[in-house]
Amino acid sequence: MKKSLDRYLLQPGVYYLQGSQACIEGAIVAGCRVYGGYPITPATEVMEHAALRLPQVGGRFIQMEDEIASACVLIGATWAGAKAMTATSSPGFSLMQEAISYAIMAETPLVIVNVQRPGPGQGYITASQEDVMQARWGHHGEGSIIALAPASVQEMFELTIEAFNLSEQWRTPVLVMAEEPVAHMRERLVIPPKDDIKIVNRKKPQDVGITPENYLPRSHDIMAPMANWGEGYNVNHVGLVHLEDGNVTKYSPRMHYECISRLQQKIEGNVNKIARVETEFTEGCEHLVVCYGAVSRSSIEAVKEAREERGIEIGFLKLVTLWPFPEAKLREIVGEVDTIFVPEMNLGMMKHPITESLRDRCRRVVSIPSLGILHSPEYILSKIYEELK
Amino acid sequence: MNIYKRLEIRIAGFGGQGVVTVGKILGTAFTVFEGKNSVNSQSYGPESRGGACKSEVIVSDGEINYPHVRRADIFIALSQLALDTYISDLKEGGILIVDPNSVKNVPERRKYDVYEVSTTEIAHKVGGVKFQNCVALGALYPFIKDLIKETSLRKAISESVPANTLKVNMTAFERGKRYIKEHYVIEEN
Amino acid sequence: MLKYLREEGPSGARLPLILCPGCGSGQVLNFTLQAVDRIILEDHIRKENFVFISGVGCSARLTSHYLNFDSGWTIHGRTLAIATGALLANPALKIIVFTGDGDTGAIGGNHFIHACRRNIDLTILCINNGLYGMTGGQVGPTTSAGTITTTTPYGNTEENFDLCKIAETAGATYVARWTTAHPYQTIRSIMKGIRKKGASFIEILSQCPVHNKTSPVAMLKNLKKNTIRAHKAGESTEGKILIGEFCDLHKPEWNESYQKIIDQFSKEKSK
């Protein structure tokens, strides 16, 4: 791989970029050097910025013939040693599910950004959070996945880096569930000094003294070291259930169960290390707003106003990680509350795991839906006041 | 005008008038050259030309949460449709800059501080109607001059327009600025 | 050639292959490994650089867990896209794709024509047995009209593809067709395909004795009988299938062209 050309890396400082651009700049910082994509509104700007920037830093960009091919490019690129990503929108995301499923089974790191748009079908081209369930359950079969929800241009940068780090560390596809307002808005981006940015690279067998002769694709460790193609490790990637050494013909229900539960446990068993939330005013609050993505920006303003203008003891909890769902963290933070409000740009999706986690800690969970447009603080407030009067 | 918390500017017109560029220039000027925080967003109909198009800039010395206009402090309307669609979000006493060639009617005019600037005419004199957006920017400047240095705006313009049109755009900016100065007295806030 | 196969693993023996007795895919694997072996020897290319990728089907089983090479047993029809990604990450890899008539001509059709169009450095070995073997003998895009299969129980009403013609039209720079009854020609073509910098498409007509309910020997004899060398065909093909090399061109390969773009930025830096 070509060494990156420092001159073309963005130096630490203050920038004014679109969320789409910030996403690619984050990817470049994280070490992404392969992008395969397909145009789709409202994600096209991410791809266009990748086309511009990747060769400047010694990477390669290709526009593929469809979204399925784009996701597949990431699989091959990762196996050959690169960090790879693509960006798409909801219909393209549906097309990528088979590849995502395969990548989960083959424990293949890759990053897919979904700048969501309303559906179903062609839907529309504006704001949406309608794929947050598809993120977790859209791929066929079992196996867990990681999904992050950026709320600002700064987070498009930071969470893309975090997505690559998580994918390399946990050997899994990671989804960045973005939204059109955040992808298209321009906002201040602060790029910190290089040393302040943590980058994680996949653990390789060479790093832990495993020779080609002793290499097992799935070691007894839950985090199997990953050898790249071309390094003499005779790595064989498969999508079928398999034994630790990669054998695919000695099937048994027990082998099947062990193979899959390992994949599941790898992520779900490490929720506390993977998932992040942010909170404000949750200490002893009487009511709570749980939100994610751009809606968290409208929500925090609504929460502050409700507290200041009407003295309502309402707290704010933002899910930075959607999946694996941080149930334990939520139960740690939330005591007894009366009403939990869940504003979403869908008809109520994350409200389900939220309800499942906190049903015994609240009187009720109230959805505040909005389709195609970002909630305004006024809209959220009107619903809160209506419910609490 | 107190910028510490939040300043909201909206520019709207039809597709092709350069509304989005004005928002981008303002955002760049405030963030990169003035060190403030700003968020700039836009929305349009599907048509490349015509239709309704708006751009918004929220500026703050602190954090910006909700990234869109709640109660605009300043609204620049370059078409009647844009005015009709968005006037209700302008705060009472807010600054309304309109192009009288296209905006013939301002409902409840007395609620706002209205300034009429013939951006299209001035643009024509400078070099063509496509420079209308920088005329509008110039007309805006006197209302925000306490919050942003002119050099910041000029630097932002030079980053946002093609190099070979820079000179004309700067002239358009000057003319817009001058028009306000010559025709209106602006109260110092 | 056994040195290239993984006979055993910690979970036990992997050989014999799961393929049916008399299946042509095993022969194709043999031919391929012979070609690779000679190239490693003659061209001094490291064995580490070779990668085998397959999709789904009988052809794909060759990489399932038998090879002592870097490999991938991937998604039905999407092999070429995956291979493209690998080449973007490491243009030095020598990637050989095992695919079948359905994997290439049906579900993989779009990726097939674009990989050829891009002339990306791949050696695509399409083992064409004229039907979907793994799933029980359904009709495929290369099944001839009139054939009775499990999904054309009244006879196939559709015409079939000529995959080589598609490859050539789409832009592949080396296109050839052989059969499992033509071992030496096939080995030579595979070597040529690997050596060629660009998209090489080699179709290998192969026998499926089980679904055709015919002995492998009879099928091999038919392959010899029913094919004719392209240059010998003259005006009429006598109803036979053309085999041979159909094109051998020199055009810029995808990574070669893209490298020029990357280089323009390194050049600027060293100024």
Assign C149 to helix, strand or coil: strand
Determine the pLDDT at residue C14: 81
Is the pLDDT reported for residue A137 higher than 80? yes
Q: Looking at the partner chain, which of A66, A74, A239 has a beta carbon nearest the beta carbon of C85?
A: A74
Name the band, by pLDDT with cuts 50, 70 and 90, for residue A250.
Answer: confident
Assign A243 to helix, strand or coil: coil
Q: Where is pLDDT greater, at A219 or C147?
A: C147
Contact assignment for C67 to A75 by CB distance below 8 Å:
no
Residues of A in contact with B28 (CB under 8 A): 16, 186
Segment 227-286 of chain A within 8 Å of chain C by CB = 228-240, 242-250
Tell me the two tokens of residue C19: 């393929």
Count of CB contacts below 8 A, A vs C?
175
Q: Looking at the partner chain, which of A70, A230, A239 has a beta carbon nearest the beta carbon of C70?
A: A230
Say whether residue A110 is in contact with chain C using an 8 A CB cutoff: no
**Identical fold between A6-196 and A278-388:** yes
The torsion angle over the Cα atoms of residues C198, A87, A133 and A371, rounded to 10 degrees, is -140
Residue B74: closest CA among B119, B118, B135, B140 = B140
Name the band, by pLDDT with cuts 50, 70 and 90, for residue B186.
Answer: confident
Distance separating alpha carbons of residues A302 and B65, to the nearest angstrom: 10
What stretch of H or E contains C209? helix C209-212
Determine the pLDDT at residue A328: 97
Rg (CA), chain B: 15
Q: What distance in Å separates residue A250's CA from the closest CA in chain C?
A: 8
Name the band, by pLDDT with cuts 50, 70 and 90, for residue A214.
Answer: confident
Residues of A in contact with B24 (CB under 8 A): 186
List pLDDT tens digits, range C221-234.
Answer: 999 999 999 887 77
Say whether residue A382 is in contact with chain B using an 8 A CB cutoff: no
* Residue of chain A whose Cα is closest to the Cα of C264: A56
Contact assignment for B67 to A185 by CB distance below 8 Å:
yes
Average pLDDT over residues A204-231: 84
Say whether residue A377 is in contact with chain B using an 8 A CB cutoff: yes
Average pLDDT over residues A278-306: 97
* Residue of chain A whose Cα is closest to the Cα of C15: A249
Q: What distance in Å separates residue C260's CA from the closest CA in chain A?
A: 10
Contact assignment for A294 to B67 by CB distance below 8 Å:
yes
Q: Looking at the partner chain, which of A15, A186, A374 has a beta carbon nearest the beta carbon of B68?
A: A374
Q: Looking at the partner chain, which of B24, B43, B70 has a beta carbon nearest the beta carbon of A186?
A: B24
Residue A63: closest CA among A40, A35, A96, A91 = A35
Please report whether residue B86 resides in a domain. Answer: yes
Distance separating alpha carbons of residues C192 and C199, to the nearest angstrom: 11
Contact assignment for B70 to A15 by CB distance below 8 Å:
no
Is the pLDDT reported for residue A193 higher than 80? yes
Contact assignment for A185 to B40 by CB distance below 8 Å:
yes
Say whether residue A15 is in contact with chain B using an 8 A CB cutoff: yes
Count of CB contacts below 8 A, A vs B?
54
Fold entry, domain A278-388:
Rossmann fold (3.40.50)
Name the band, by pLDDT with cuts 50, 70 and 90, for residue A4.
Answer: very low
Sorted by where each begins, the domain ranges of chain C are 19-270
Determine the pLDDT at residue C160: 95
Percent of chain C with pLDDT over 70: 98
Contact assignment for A186 to B37 by CB distance below 8 Å:
no
Contact assignment for A16 to B42 by CB distance below 8 Å:
no
Cα–Cα distances (Å) from A345 to A292, A293, A350, in that order, read 10, 10, 10
Residues of B in contact with A183 (CB under 8 A): none
Name the band, by pLDDT with cuts 50, 70 and 90, for residue A2.
Answer: very low
Q: What is the DSSP string of C113-138?
A: HHHHHHT-SEEEEEEE-SSBTTTTSB
Contact assignment for A230 to C92 by CB distance below 8 Å:
yes
Tell me the two tokens of residue A276: 């992040």
**For chain B, how many structural domains are there in total?**
1
- In this structure, chain A runs to a length of 389
Contact assignment for A16 to B43 by CB distance below 8 Å:
no
Q: What distance in Å separates residue A94's CA from the closest CA in chain C?
A: 16
Is the pLDDT reported for residue A3 higher than 60? no
Average pLDDT over residues C39-63: 94
Average pLDDT over residues A299-312: 97
Please report whether residue B125 resides in a domain. Answer: yes
Name the band, by pLDDT with cuts 50, 70 and 90, for residue A281.
Answer: very high
List pLDDT tens digits, range C77-125.
Answer: 999 999 999 999 999 999 999 999 999 999 999 999 999 999 999 999 9
List pLDDT tens digits, range C157-183.
Answer: 999 999 999 999 999 999 999 999 999
Rg (CA), chain A: 21
Contact assignment for A64 to C93 by CB distance below 8 Å:
no
Distance separating alpha carbons of residues C86 and C125, to the nearest angstrom: 17
Determine the pLDDT at residue C271: 45
Residue C106: closest CA among C134, C129, C125, C132 = C132
Sorted by where each begins, the domain ranges of chain A are 6-196, 205-271, 278-388
The alpha carbon of B120 is separated from its chain's Cα centroid by a whole number of angstroms, namely 14
Distance separating alpha carbons of residues C16 and B184, to the nearest angstrom: 92
Q: What is the DSSP string of C55-96?
A: -SSTGGGGGSS-BSSEEEE--TT-HHHHHHHHHHH-TT-EEE
Instruction: Give the best residue of B66, B69, B152, B153 to mutate against chain A (max A CB count within 10 A).
Output: B66
Determine the pLDDT at residue A370: 98
Is the pLDDT reported for residue B99 higher than 80? yes
Distance separating alpha carbons of residues A163 and A169, to the nearest angstrom: 10
Average pLDDT over residues C195-208: 97
Q: Please state which architecture CATH assigns to domain A6-196.
A: 3-Layer(aba) Sandwich (3.40)
Is the pLDDT reported for residue A5 higher than 70? no
Determine the pLDDT at residue C234: 73
Determine the pLDDT at residue B4: 59
Determine the pLDDT at residue C1: 80
- In this structure, chain C runs to a length of 271
Segment 141-180 of chain A within 8 Å of chain C by CB = none
Q: Give the single-character DSSP code of A217.
A: S
Residues of A in contact with C108 (CB under 8 A): none
Q: Where is pLDDT greater, at C268 or C73?
A: C73
Instruction: Specify whether the CB–CB gap between A136 and A57 falls below 8 A.
Output: no
Contact assignment for C14 to A234 by CB distance below 8 Å:
no
Contact assignment for B31 to A14 by CB distance below 8 Å:
yes
Determine the pLDDT at residue B47: 61
Type of residue numbered A334: V
Rg (CA), chain C: 19
Assign A76 to helix, strand or coil: helix
Alpha carbons within 13 angstroms on the beta-carbon side of residue A86 total 31
Q: What distance in Å separates residue C88's CA from the closest CA in chain A?
A: 6
The torsion angle over the Cα atoms of residues A319, A325, A331 and A337, rounded to 10 degrees, is 50
Percent of chain C with pLDDT over 90: 83
Contact assignment for C70 to A98 by CB distance below 8 Å:
no
Determine the pLDDT at residue B189: 52
Name the band, by pLDDT with cuts 50, 70 and 90, for residue B2.
Answer: very low
Contact assignment for A181 to B67 by CB distance below 8 Å:
yes
Segment 34-63 of chain C within 8 Å of chain A by CB = 47-49, 51, 53, 63
List pLDDT tens digits, range A324-369.
Answer: 999 999 999 999 999 999 999 999 999 999 999 999 999 999 999 9
Contact assignment for C89 to A84 by CB distance below 8 Å:
yes
Say whether residue A305 is in contact with chain B using an 8 A CB cutoff: no
Q: Domain of residue B160: give its range.
A: 7-183
Please report whether residue B188 resides in a domain. Answer: no
Distance separating alpha carbons of residues B56 and B21, to the nearest angstrom: 11
Between chain C and chain B, are at least 3 CB pairs below 8 A?
no
Instruction: Specify whether the CB–CB gap between B100 and B118 falls below 8 A.
Output: yes
Name the band, by pLDDT with cuts 50, 70 and 90, for residue C237.
Answer: confident
Determine the pLDDT at residue C89: 98
* Residue of chain C whose Cα is closest to the Cα of A67: C81
Average pLDDT over residues A89-112: 97
Tell me the two tokens of residue A177: 């569930």
Going by CATH, does the domain composed of C19-270 fall within 3.40.50.970? yes
Q: What distance in Å separates residue A12's CA from the closest CA in chain C?
A: 19
Residues 6+ apart with CB under 8 A from A371: A118, A128, A345, A346, A347
Contact assignment for A298 to B65 by CB distance below 8 Å:
yes
Mean pLDDT score of chain A: 95
List pLDDT tens digits, range B32-75.
Answer: 999 999 999 998 766 656 677 999 999 999 999 999 999 999 99
The torsion angle over the Cα atoms of residues A265, A271, A273 and A279, rounded to 10 degrees, is 180
Q: What is the DSSP string of B44-112?
A: E-S-SSEEEEEEEEEEESS---S-S-SSEEEEEE-SHHHHHHHGGGEEEEEEEEE-TTT----TTGGGS
Question: Is the Cα torsion angle A237, A239, A241, A247 positive or negative in sign?
Answer: negative
Determine the pLDDT at residue C9: 77
Q: Where is pLDDT greater, at A110 or C3?
A: A110
Contact assignment for A239 to C68 by CB distance below 8 Å:
no
Determine the pLDDT at residue B49: 66
Type of residue numbered A106: A
Determine the pLDDT at residue B1: 43
- CATH number of the domain within which B136 lies: 3.40.920.10
Determine the pLDDT at residue A224: 82
Percent of chain B with pLDDT over 90: 82
**Strands across the sheet containing B113-116:** A13-18, A186-191, B37-44, B50-60, B7-15, B72-77, B90-98, B113-116
β-pairing, A337-344 vs B37-44, is unpaired
Determine the pLDDT at residue A7: 77
Determine the pLDDT at residue A28: 97
Distance separating alpha carbons of residues C233 and A114, to the nearest angstrom: 54
Residues of B in contact with A187 (CB under 8 A): 27, 31, 37-40, 64, 67
